[in-house]
Structure 1
């Protein structure tokens, strides 16, 4: 996918606290970034402002968050339980627990040889961005709907 060939990808370490991850987004003037979890050697998701808003709602509604902990493990993921426990005790929350928390912009990846048509079809299904991942599993670019819109507008 040549439209994003020379892109510098900002990746957030999964252990970084959410507050620092927000600083990374702001400093780099980006709305989202992939989160890499070194313990699993994989990307745990995308972290964006919708995740921040969801996290803030959890923190601000501590009573509701405590009720969430009473639900069974089948109802809630272990990561969500960890996030609520840390937030309830005012502990730093690793960004890997908040990536894709909002469920609005999940992590999707494609190979570099993926056609523009295939990416546009993904965008048509409601996805807003995809990571271009090489054969070694490294993200080389982030392909967004805006990139495609600009390409079609200019051509």
Structure 2
């Protein structure tokens, strides 16, 4: 019994002692991960503002001041118009030949739509042939909407047009070629108004104010050289009103003081 105990003690003493594990310094990657975890924790302490958070809105007074006094970048006087009476300016000075886009009546609605999207005046003049100088009608976004409503079957045609609407809808849904000539009955029947480029703005405004959406500007030979619309007229007075004191002084005046929208509205059911 004692001999076995002594042998066990001798065996334990003869076994080599395990050396302690060497001290390991943290690697750069572990330090980076630790700092990343720390920064992530700090971010949780200060979460970003909610996307639903709304900044304080501009006060009514601030909005009104912006409307009365627009940014200075749009208030520079134009040497072309300063010192002149706005009523004496001719419509030819506000138009450009680049405004005029022509298309043949035999072209497809798709071709007309692509041209319409590129038109700066929002209208394409439709003519009988490539060499014709007289427009048959004007193709604009109202006409495009009327065509699309017909294609999807939303339009409610009158009795004598039901067949035409059905044929257009069937052909369009089948992917067939549909020309502007076929959809001409769907387009608006607004009269085409022409004015010589030498006509002044006073006369043009009277025409546009009567419900006409656009006027075709012609040269001395009757060729269309430009288009002036209601929107083009509004843009002109907004951008160039600083050149005309009689127009510029109207900016701070309210619509009520100007007498706009004060008349009672009559409706018939």
Tell me, yes or no, whether TM beats 0.5.
yes
Specify the alignment match of 2:205 in structure 1.
120
Q: Which has the larger radius of gyration?
A: 2
Residue 16 (1) aligns with residue 101 (2): no
Q: Which runs of 5+ in 1 are unaligned?
A: none
- Return 38-47 or 118-127, whichever deviates more: 38-47
C-alpha deviation, 1:122, in angstroms: 0.9
Which residues of 2 match residues 71-86 of structure 1 at below 5 A?
71=160, 85-86=167-168
Please point out which of 93, 116, 132 is paired with 2:217: 132
- Residues 63 and 139 from structure 1, CA distance in 2 versus in 1: closer, same or farther, beyond 3 angstroms? closer
C-alpha deviation, 1:117, in angstroms: 1.5
Q: Across the two proteins, how many residue pairs are aligned to each other?
A: 145
Q: Which runs of 5+ in 2 are unaligned?
A: 1-90, 244-269
Q: Whose relative contact order is higher, 1 or 2, with alpha carbons under 8 Å and at least 6 apart?
A: 1
Please point out which of 137, 150, 155 is paired with 2:235: 150
| CA root-mean-square deviation | 3.3
Tell me the distance in 1 between the aligned counterparts of 2:140 and 2:167. 21
- Return 46-55 or 135-144, whichever deviates more: 135-144
- Return 2-11 or 141-150, whichever deviates more: 2-11
Instruction: Tell me which protein shows more strand as a share of its residues.
Output: 1
* TM-score normalized by the length of structure 2: 0.45
- Residues 62 and 145 from structure 1, CA distance in 2 versus in 1: closer, same or farther, beyond 3 angstroms? closer
- Return 8-17 or 105-114, whichever deviates more: 105-114
Please point out which of 149, 155, 176 is paired with 1:57: 149
Structure 2 counterpart SS, 1:50: helix
Tell me the distance in 1 between the aligned counterparts of 2:234 and 2:185. 24
- Residues 101 and 112 from structure 1, CA distance in 2 versus in 1: closer, same or farther, beyond 3 angstroms? farther
Specify the alignment match of 1:35 in structure 2.
126
Report if aligned partners of 1:46, 1:99 keep a CA contact under 8 Å in 2.
Answer: no
Tell me the distance in 1 between the aligned counterparts of 2:202 and 2:227. 16
